[in-house]
Amino acid sequence: MEKYKFYVLTSIPPGTAGGDPVAVARVLIGGDVRSTQVVVIGGGPSGLLLSQLLSRNGVASIVLERQSRAYVQGRIRAGLLEWGTVRLLQEAGVGARMMRDGLLHEGVELAFGEQHHRIDLQALTGRSVLVYGQTEVQRDLAEARAAEPGAVVWEAAEVQLAGWDSKRPTVSYLHEGIRYSIACDFIAGCDGYHGVSRASVPPQHLQQYERAYPFGWLALMADVPPLNDELVYANHERGFALCSMRSSSRSRYYLQCSVQDSVDKWPDERFYRELRARLPRQFAQRLVEGRSLEKSIAPLRSFVVEPMRFGSLFLVGDAAHIVPPTGAKGLNLAAADAGTLAQGLIEFYRTGTRTLIDEYSAHALDRVWKATRFSWWFTSLMHKFSEDAFAHQLQLAELRYLAQSETAARAMAENYVGLAIAA
């Protein structure tokens, strides 16, 4: 049977922010009174980054993550950081390893049939992107949060939200058989697409927009040198392919596949054969094959929920929006949301002003819809949707236009390097 612990719930008023959040958290965790300023649900990149930014600015938070630290750290996902995300991670004090090990990419290749064209991101926008895996970002953030004992509760099961529409909400959870309850001023729902935060809001308060794509991405990771110094996005009659990397000795390759596919239908030999077939010969002949360390299939979808705030509850990252990975925007949007919300909360605890908190949803959604548009456009341009030869010719015409027109290439480059932080 589930055991319960009851806590006297107290409020930490605005102004406490000048104090020591470690001390605040320690008192709260150690004693019978469990209360904090912000409860963060979800210890993925957005949740940990938010908590880290708050902590560095004297705002106390507790992160509740359903999975273990090792499990979350083992998830292989995104690989590309926009410059705004890099800056935010530096601001959060977790940038040292990223700046040392990250690979600066000043351009990307667009391939179609036997042709390919380099989009010179740096020349067109004055900005570049950084290749640094989400796994590493997650590790850096988890390490930083571990310096504050009790700041993250890993394996917090059955998280429940109450009173999110009031000024003093509570969040309860089960840990090692005991149910705990935390009172707070604000809840940040950083718990991804399948999380409990968005699901706690009655549907009549939510406007949801969704587009499912009729294909998925089959991913493979291998310890082989990447076939090119920069990423190669390929549109081919057989379907889309992407050649990415994690380092100069670790490659990350993707193939458009059917949503009904399963990884056991794709032994390594078949994967590499198909990848080779979808690339211009010049790239294909440089492909080095190596045993897969990981292989997975992810469906593609666009999803946005409006608004991103409900009373004391804020939705952050994948909890509020999903983009197909073609534009590499998912992680970057999640980080940008965390940055915007952190600013609002820090301002509130410093001055009692709610302006930025009140603007959070509109501010974030403006950026989210622009990234949603770009991700949809890039996905539509690069993937095979049907046997429709007319549609394929339109894609090729647009790719040739991108290769010939500096204006078109700049519009693409500007979105690729990220409108996120500027917005």
- Residues near ligand PHB (CB under 6 A): 78-80, 231, 244, 252, 325-326, 328
Output 239 or 325, the one with its CB closest to ligand RFL: 325
Shortest gap between Cβ of 366 and ligand RFL (angstroms)?
18
307 is catalytic: no
Number of H helices, E strands in the chain: 14, 21
Name the minimum Å distance from CB 13 to ligand PHB. Answer: 44
Say which entry of ligand RFL, ligand PHB, none residue 47 contacts (CB below 5 to 8 A, set by partner kind).
Answer: ligand RFL
Closest residue by Cα to residue 379 from 265, 282, 299: 299
Which residue's CB is nearer to ligand PHB, number 17 or number 279?
279
125 binds, among ligand PHB, ligand RFL, none (CB under 5 to 8 A by kind): none
Q: What is the dihedral of CA 419, 116, 118, 379, to 10 degrees?
A: 10
Catalytic hit among 105, 116, 363, 383: 105
Q: Choose the catalytic residue: 21, 325, 349, 383.
A: 325
Q: How far apart are CA 314 and CA 184, in angstroms?
A: 13
Q: Of these partners, ligand RFL, ligand PHB, none, which one is at the site of residue 43 (CB under 5 to 8 Å by kind)? A: ligand RFL
How far is it, in rounded angstroms, from Cα 141 to Cα 294? Answer: 23
CA dist 40 → 13, 152, 196 (Å) = 18, 9, 12
Rounded (10°) angle between helices 406-417 and 355-382: 130
Nearer to ligand RFL, 17 or 240 (CB): 240
- Clarify whether 13 is annotated catalytic: no
What residue has token string 């501010």? 363
* Residue 91 identity (one-letter amino acid): E
The answer to whether residues 318 and 330 touch, using CB atoms and an 8 Å cutoff, is yes
Active site residue 329: yes
Q: Which is nearer to ligand RFL, 77 or 295 (CB)?
A: 77
Decide which of ligand RFL, ligand PHB, none touches 317; Cβ closer than 5 to 8 Å per partner kind. ligand RFL
The residue written with tokens 């590309």 in the block is 80
Its sign, for the CA torsion 407, 408, 409, 411, is positive
Contact of 28 with 61, CB cutoff 8 Å: no
Residues lying near ligand RFL in the complex (CB under 6 A) are found at 41-47, 64-67, 72, 77-79, 134, 156, 159, 190-192, 194-196, 298, 317-318, 325, 328-331, 334
399's CB contacts (< 8 A; 6+ apart) are 110, 112, 115, 117, 235, 381
Sheet holding 61-64, edge to edge: 152-153, 61-64, 38-41, 186-189, 313-315, 309-310
Torsions phi, psi for 191 (to 5 deg):
-105, 30
The smaller minimum CB distance to ligand RFL, of residues 157 and 397, is found at: 157
Q: Which does 136 bind (CB under 5 to 8 A by kind): ligand PHB, ligand RFL, none?
A: none
Q: Are strands 292-306 and 321-322 parallel, antiparallel or unpaired?
A: antiparallel
Q: Which of 132, 173, 233, 253 is an active site residue?
A: 233
Q: Of the listed 116, 236, 321, 329, which one is catalytic? A: 329
- Any idea which residue has 């992107």 for tokens? 129
Rounded Cα distance between 420 and 332, Å, is 8
Among ligand PHB, ligand RFL, none, partner that 326 touches (CB below 5 to 8 angstroms by kind) = ligand PHB
Report yes or no: 92 and 52 within 8 Å, Cβ to Cβ: yes
Task: Report the 10 Å Cβ neighbour count for 70.
Answer: 9
Q: CB of residue 397 vs ligand RFL: minimum separation in angstroms?
A: 27
The one of ligand PHB, ligand RFL, none whose footprint includes residue 44, by CB under 5 to 8 A per kind, is ligand RFL
Using the minimum distance from each CB to ligand RFL, give the nearer residue, 17 or 119.
Answer: 119
Minimum CB separation of residue 173 from ligand RFL in Å reads: 7
User: 41 touches which of ligand PHB, ligand RFL, none (CB within 5 to 8 A by kind)?
Assistant: ligand RFL
Closer CB to ligand RFL, residue 200 or residue 228?
200
Annotation marks residue 233 as catalytic: yes
Residue nearest to ligand PHB (CB): 79
Q: Whole-number minimum distance, CB 103 to ligand PHB, in Å?
A: 11
Closer of 54 and 131 to ligand PHB (Cβ): 131
Q: Name the minimum Å distance from CB 167 to ligand RFL.
A: 23
Smallest separation (angstroms) from ligand PHB to the CB of 328: 3
| Token code pair at residue 114 | 């036997």
Q: Is 45 a catalytic residue?
A: no
Rounded Cα distance, 305 and 414, in Å: 25
CA proximity to 108, closest of 419, 383, 402? 402
Q: Are 83 and 134 in contact (CB under 8 A)?
A: no
Q: Measured from the CB of residue 46, what is the shortest distance to ligand RFL in angstroms?
A: 3
For the annotated catalytic residues, the residue numbers are: 105, 233, 325, 329, 416
